[in-house]
Amino acid sequence: MQLDFNLLNALDALLEEGSVAGAATRLHLSQPAMSRTLGRIRDVTGDPIMVRVGHRMLPTTYAASIRERVHAVVRQTRELLAPNREIDITTMQRTFTIRCNEVVATAVGADLARRVHSLAPRVKLRLLAETSLDTQDLQHGRVDLELNAGVPPAADLRHEVLHRDRLAVAVRIGHPWTRGRLTAKRFSQGEHVIVSRRGQLRDAIDVALEASGFNRQVLAAFPTSTAALSMVRDGESAVVVPERMSRPMADLFKLRLLPLPFDLDPVPLMSTWHFRYDGDPPHVWMRTQVKEVIQNFCRELSQGRSSAIP
């Protein structure tokens, strides 16, 4: 039997995308061409692979059982065919899509863009905002890298902790909490807003307060830190934010950052990607740039580039 590696690559795309149209888009093929490839895969395996159920295409039992092995073989084959492939970043042409919240984009987006442009002038960056829904954009190749605090739930996603940020309380200049010691009791008696892309009105702060016997009043949940900090700037409300990553936005809004009046674990900032890019040299290079820019930013803050809370 003469096997074509392109069939394995196409099978991987079909099983991951769950449709002929999705696989065709990913492999830059027309739908008729992808349908013909599916026919060849069926001939080789003796299995339908994908069957129509109503308006959806679903994998057969056999196809579902080999999905992870197909992923692994495709990845290993790519690495085998290019074990020491070097890249010339000065001529590399590629667009990287990075998803993060606007706090991270404001803190390090400009530094990252300048760094990438100076090292790889033909590389382009797209910074996308977080969405209110979980997506499979990493799996489908629509996003190359996500920067957030959550550990990815999917087994096919990799992650690396780039930084751990303690939480701080953002208030306007002249807020009563800026005079005297901020205690958990004073904190609980104030007005609060929350940053939540899903609109949740409770978070880890409420859990920590309740463990100490306190409750707080949450007035609103905002989808972005910009909106929440805008309300804090013009009133008596407070919002809890990651201290270092939020420093540029706090400075922009002329806000004070106060230490949280009780202990809470620092919030991790993670880089997450699909495992198909584990050994992809351009992707490895981009992950390295993101990591170094974030760590340089945090190091400069620690050295007093901007006013810091004690």
Place 3 in a pLDDT band, splitting at 50, 70 and 90.
low
Percentage of residues in the chain having pLDDT higher than 70 = 95
The CA distance from 138 to 186, in Å, is 43
In this prediction the pTM is 0.72
Q: In Å, how far are 16, 24, 89, 232 from 95, measured between CA atoms?
A: 22, 20, 13, 37
Give the pLDDT of residue 28: 84
Backbone phi, psi, residue 119, to 5°:
-90, -40
Domain 94-161+275-302 bears CATH identifier 3.40.190.10: yes
For the segment 113-160, what is each residue's pLDDT rounded down to a tens digit? 999 999 999 999 999 998 877 788 998 888 999 999 988 888 889 999
Strands (E), 90-166: 94-100, 123-128, 145-148, 157-165
Q: Among residues 131, 129, 170, which one has the least CA distance to residue 254?
A: 170
Element (H, E) at 186: helix 184-188
Q: Check whether 264 has a pLDDT greater than 80.
A: yes
Name beta bridge partners: 146: 99, 272
Q: Taking residues 165-191, report their average pLDDT.
A: 95
What pLDDT is attached to residue 85? 63
CATH topology assigned to domain 167-265: D-Maltodextrin-Binding Protein; domain 2 (3.40.190)
| Alpha-carbon span 300 to 198, nearest angstrom | 32
Q: Tens digits of per-residue pLDDT, 75-101?
A: 778 767 765 567 889 999 999 999 999
Q: Kindly tell me if the per-residue pLDDT of 1 is higher than 60.
A: no
pLDDT at 84: 57
Instruction: Give the number of other CB atoms < 10 A from CB of residue 295.
Output: 13
pLDDT at 22: 86
What are the residue ranges of CATH 3.40.190.10 in the chain? 94-161+275-302, 167-265
Does residue 157 sit in helix, strand or coil?
strand
* DSSP code per residue over 217-251: EEEEEESSHHHHHHHHHTSSEEEEEETTTTHHHHH
Residue 169 scores a pLDDT above 50: yes
Domain 5-81 has CATH 1.10.10.10: yes
Q: Are 45 and 8 in contact (CB under 8 A)?
A: no
pLDDT at 192: 97
- What pLDDT was estimated at residue 82? 61
Q: Residue 2's pLDDT band (boundaries 50, 70, 90)?
A: low
Average model confidence (pLDDT) across the chain: 90
What's the mean pLDDT in 246-258? 95
Residue 55's pLDDT is 79
Q: Which residues of 194-206 are buried (b: 16+ CB within 10 A; e: fewer)?
A: bbbbeeeeeeebb
Instruction: Quote the pLDDT of residue 135.
Output: 83
Mean pLDDT of 279-285: 91
Collapsing DSSP states into helix, strand and coil, what is residue 171? strand
Q: Is the pLDDT of residue 222 over 90?
A: yes
pLDDT of 309 higher than 50: no
